[in-house]
């Protein structure tokens, strides 16, 4: 059973080969899929790391893996690989839409006159020696 905010088997099959290998020496890592599911849960819910459900392992271990992978560019590489693959088979739509109705600017940014300014009159500084 796949829970909400977790990787499906199909998604896992696509990204598993792209993740770093388990270390040869030292303690074994927590399963990558479990950690990724924990990261996805945290990012989707916005909850603090300390509130991560126990099924994802120790919150600090999940956070450390997230931080390390972000710093190493692992997530960027995953995204790039998936985009390249999906674009090659025609499953990626590169259409971008920007809704400009929400863009706001201050009235002076749009060239509005300041209060008390006469547009027909040019003000000049008296400068030195004027008098």
Residue-wise pLDDT tens digits, 34-63: 999 999 999 999 999 999 999 999 999 999
Residue 36 forms part of a structural domain? yes
Residue 109 forms part of a structural domain? no
Tokens at 34, concatenated:
């479990």
What is the predicted pLDDT for the residue at 98?
Answer: 76
Residue 67 forms part of a structural domain? yes
Tokens at 37, concatenated:
């599911």
pTM of the model: 0.64
Residue 70 forms part of a structural domain? yes
**Contact residues for 17 (Cβ-Cβ < 8 A; gap 6+):** none
Residue 108 forms part of a structural domain? no
Residue 55 forms part of a structural domain? yes
What is the predicted pLDDT for the residue at 112?
Answer: 61
Question: Which range marks the domain in which residue 56 is found?
Answer: 1-12+29-93
| Number of compact structural domains in the chain | 1
| Interval 56-114: pLDDT, tens | 999 999 999 999 999 999 999 888 888 887 777 777 777 777 776 766 666 666 666 66
Q: How many other CB atoms are there within 10 angstroms of residue 94's CB atom?
A: 6
Phi-psi region of 26 (alpha: psi -120 to 50; beta: other; left: phi over 0): left
CA distance 106 to 118: 20
Residue 80 forms part of a structural domain? yes
CA distance 108 to 114: 7
């Amino acid at each position: 059973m796949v829970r909400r905010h977790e990787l499906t088997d199909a998604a896992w099959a696509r990204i598993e080969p792209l993740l770093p290998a388990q270390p040869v020496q030292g303690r074994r890592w927590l399963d990558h899929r479990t950690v990724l599911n924990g990261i996805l849960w945290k990012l989707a819910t916005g909850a603090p790391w300390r509130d991560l459900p126990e099924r994802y392992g120790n919150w600090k271990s999940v956070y450390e893996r997230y931080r390390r992978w972000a710093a190493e560019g692992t997530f960027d590489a995953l995204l790039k690989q998936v985009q390249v693959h999906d674009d090659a088979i025609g499953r990626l739509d590169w259409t971008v839409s920007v809704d400009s109705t929400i863009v706001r600017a201050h009235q002076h940014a749009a060239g509005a006159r300041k209060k008390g300014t006469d547009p027909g009159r040019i003000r000049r500084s008296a400068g030195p020696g004027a008098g």
